[in-house]
Amino acid sequence: MSRTLDIAPLRSLVAIADRGGFGRAASSLHLSQAAVSQHVRRLEASVGHALVTRAGRGSRFTVEGEQLLGHARRVLAAHDEALRCFGVGSDETLVVGSTEHAAAQLLPRFAAALGEALPHHGVQFRIDRGTALREGLAAGRVSLALLLGPTGDPRAIGVGDLELTWFAAAGWTLPAGPVPVVAFDAPCALRSRAIETLDGHGIPSVVGAEATNLAGVHAATAAGQGVALLATLGDTPAGLVPVEGLPRPRPMPLSIWAAADVPARVAGTACDALRPLLPGVPAAATHLSLAEGA
């Protein structure tokens, strides 16, 4: 019987080792866990040995599994290098995480720019809160994350600054007492910036309404529950108007965070694709990064 070691199952085996289990391997490869398990069974049928066994709630490689893992890494390295020699990259999928602020204004154009800049990579977007995206980066579920907020993290590549604008419902007026702020649930970089901006000018504030998503913030603001500080790239959300009479907030740094296994070339290319989409960012600016707590 002819036996072969196919590339896809070998890639699953390596992912299990690198990601620490079947579930994380499946997430990183954008496969179901059942598909990854099937890949392992195919390899076991080809070599005639068990490769991965259960160990409590996790799994561990057998001696034969460790042996095949070494071969798998060399086979995949040779396979991918052969494609690169012909100018073809392996068809990897980048999971680009984004908070809703970045998604609403940037993703349509960013998706098109990434398609041109990285034609041999598939792109899948994930919209989530900043904290969840950072967890996704650490767990291997997210390749790149577009986030708002200051950062000194080595995974973040600074892109530029986003201007922030106060918005409220038409006809809304500043109250005599504390200014009601409509914000995302904490932690949120924009929420913090709004309160800090008002406090810095001696203006008392109170969280008048909070929401878990951008639609909720828009709805509460349009209902007259207070003012919201938003990054809209110059657009005015439906049902809202810019507010005069409040202190101008400092722009919010924008960054792209890269997972540990994303090549620097890919992260840099993504930054180069994003830079021209940001108003006011000079063409000669260096690589970008997006980090938002919302």
Could you read off the pLDDT of 116-146 as tens digits, one per residue?
787 777 778 888 888 888 888 887 778 888 8
pLDDT confidence bin for 88, thresholds 50/70/90: low
Residue 284's pLDDT is 36
Q: Which two tokens stand for residue 139?
A: 């767990």
pLDDT confidence bin for 242, thresholds 50/70/90: very high
Mean pLDDT is highest, among 143-147, 241-245, 270-274, for: 241-245
Element (H, E) at 168: strand 165-169
Q: Which of 261, 258, 259 is nearest to 287 (CA)?
A: 258
Residue 170's pLDDT is 92
Residue 283's pLDDT is 38
Residue 181's pLDDT is 95
How large is the angle between the packed helices 214-222 and 100-117, nearest 10 degrees?
Answer: 140
pTM above 0.85, yes or no: no
**Spatial separation of the C-alpha atoms in residues 228 and 100, rounded to whole Å:** 15
**Spatial separation of the C-alpha atoms in residues 95 and 15, rounded to whole Å:** 16
* Cβ pair 123, 114 in contact under 8 A: yes
Residue 286's pLDDT is 33
**Spatial separation of the C-alpha atoms in residues 252 and 290, rounded to whole Å:** 10
* Cβ pair 198, 247 in contact under 8 A: yes
Residue 104's pLDDT is 64
Mean pLDDT for all residues in the chain: 82
Give, in order, the Cα–Cα distances in Å from 11 to each of 90, 239, 274.
11, 50, 30
Q: Which two tokens stand for residue 216?
A: 């909720």
Concatenated DSSP letters for 97-143?
EE-HHHHHHHHHHHHHHHHHH-TTEEEEEEE--HHHHHHHHHHTS-S
Element (H, E) at 271: helix 264-274
Please list the residues that pair with 179 across neighbouring strands: 205
Q: What is the pLDDT of residues 149-162, one digit of tens each?
A: 767 777 788 888 88
Res. 291: pLDDT tops 70: no
Burial grade of 241 (CB within 10 A; 0-12, 13-18, 19 or more): middle
* Cβ pair 260, 281 in contact under 8 A: no
Res. 30: pLDDT tops 50: yes
Residue 179's pLDDT is 94
Residue 285's pLDDT is 37
Cβ partners under 8 Å of residue 37, min gap 6: 22
